[in-house]
Homo-oligomer: A and B are copies of this chain.
Amino acid sequence: MPKKIRLGILGGGGDSLIGVLHRVAAFINDNYEITGAVFNPKFEDSLAFAQEIDIPTNRIYKDFDTLVEEEMKLPKEERIQVCSILTPNFLHFPMAKKLLDNGFHVICEKPMTTTYDEAKILQGALKKAGTVFAVTHTYTGYPMARQMREMIKQGALGKIHKVDAQYYQGWINPIIHDPEKRKTTWRLNPEKAGISSCMGDIGVHAFNMVEYTTGLKVKKVLCDFNYLYDDNQMDVDGTALIRMGDHIKGVIRASQVATAEENGLAIAIYGDKAGLRWEQENPNFLYVLKEGEPMQVFKPGHPYNSKLSLDGTKLPPGHPEGIFDAMANIYLGVAKAIRGEKYNDGEFPTMLDGVRGLNFIQSTVDSHKKGNVWIDMD
């Protein structure tokens, strides 16, 4: 195994959950070492956090610009190779842009940017940079999500004609009904959260799973949002009709007011030969529905799975994988790409997934605002 990849971390300090998730994911397959970081807005917090997690403090920087500046002074073989961007959403774009412009690889939390325009600019920057860029649509890292993609690619479903994806949460329910709270929650403030709450935060994951697993593109979107009070018109719920090609239709359903639902991402795909169903909260069970045959339940780690799926399984069947493992699989794919090793198509979500996601969010907002009309995606 080659030397560990030098990883920079932006954000994710203190009690940040996303910070833990990325650090563990980076660790799991022994590919990364944290070389530098700006964990927190305040320098002293960053330093303290570095000490807390026992990372050398010499390359903890006071801010992002300093990090880039100082690292660029280092010889290439010492310099941070890849940065993980875990900051608030509005910082994703400027950070990613500057990193790309300076030749870094990037792992960017979702949403990649806050607008579709920024996403397209970033896409151009990546083209020039020629580095590796990953967006952490974490759920694509589950072995069974990967198995869906591979089975469809191998033709197990035949011609696809129907897609149905759901992402139901209930967490905003106790907030939205409280006039004070719904004013102050950042997720419901367009200036902080971007143009959409529900579609932008979770609907986009369901959308990504649809394109990731089917290998098809959504071509048209017609969307209806729901907001529960006129004094806050950010969507907390929405349904998007989608068209993916000739006679291929479907629906993407997302909600933050599906009361007491936790993290109900689910997808069902049907073709002329077979169907597939998968749910994020039971991620190790993939239901395969074949015309005229008993339903099958695929599980991770069995030789009957595809290489892409098996590469993301560490332990024998029956040892449950979780969300940390899913993210670790994405970091593994990125590591292979950075090292120029061969990796599986689909091993990590790319710039294209990021751009498509912003295109989708923009399209749903446009559709809703224009009175629930069809919007062509690019």
Listed in ascending order, the chain A residues whose CB lies under 8 Å from chain B are 1, 3-4, 17, 20-21, 23-24, 27-28, 30, 33, 51-54, 157, 161-162, 164, 168-171, 173-174, 177, 222, 224, 226-229, 237, 239, 241, 247, 249-251, 253, 255, 257-264, 268, 270-275, 280-284, 288-299, 302-304, 314-325, 372, 374
Contact = CB atoms under 8 A, between A and B. Distances in A.
A53 B20 contact: no
B274 A259 contact: yes
Given A164-B253, A270-B170, A295 B297 contact: yes
Given A171-B316, A263-B318, A320-B321, 15 more contacts: A4-B54, A27-B28, A28-B324, A161-B226, A162-B257, A255-B270, A258-B268, A260-B292, A261-B270, A261-B318, A262-B318, A263-B317, A280-B320, A281-B320, A319-B322
Contacts of A33: 54
B289 A294 contact: no
Given A17-B316, A253-B164, A272 B226 contact: no
Contacts of A292: 174, 260, 302-304
Contacts of A170: 270, 275, 289, 291
Given A255-B162, A294-B296, A177 B272 contact: yes
Contacts of A284: 281
Nearest to A226: B249
A210 B23 CA distance: 35
Contacts of A288: 294
Nearest to A53: B30
16 contacts: A1-B53, A20-B28, A173-B291, A174-B291, A177-B272, A222-B224, A224-B249, A226-B247, A241-B241, A251-B251, A257-B270, A259-B270, A283-B320, A319-B322, A322-B325, A372-B374
A263 B241 CA distance: 23
Contact of A282 (B268, B282, B317): B282
Contact of A24 (B27, B239, B303): B27
A253 B163 CA distance: 11
A55 to B, nearest CB: 9
A139 B286 CA distance: 24
B323 A315 contact: yes
B320 A320 contact: yes
B20 A162 contact: no
B237 A239 contact: no
A226 B51 CA distance: 55
Contacts of A237: 161-162, 249
A37 to B, nearest CB: 14
A296 to B, nearest CB: 4
B275 A258 contact: yes
Contacts of A27: 24, 27-28
A87 B314 CA distance: 19
Contact of A274 (B52, B53, B260, B273): B260
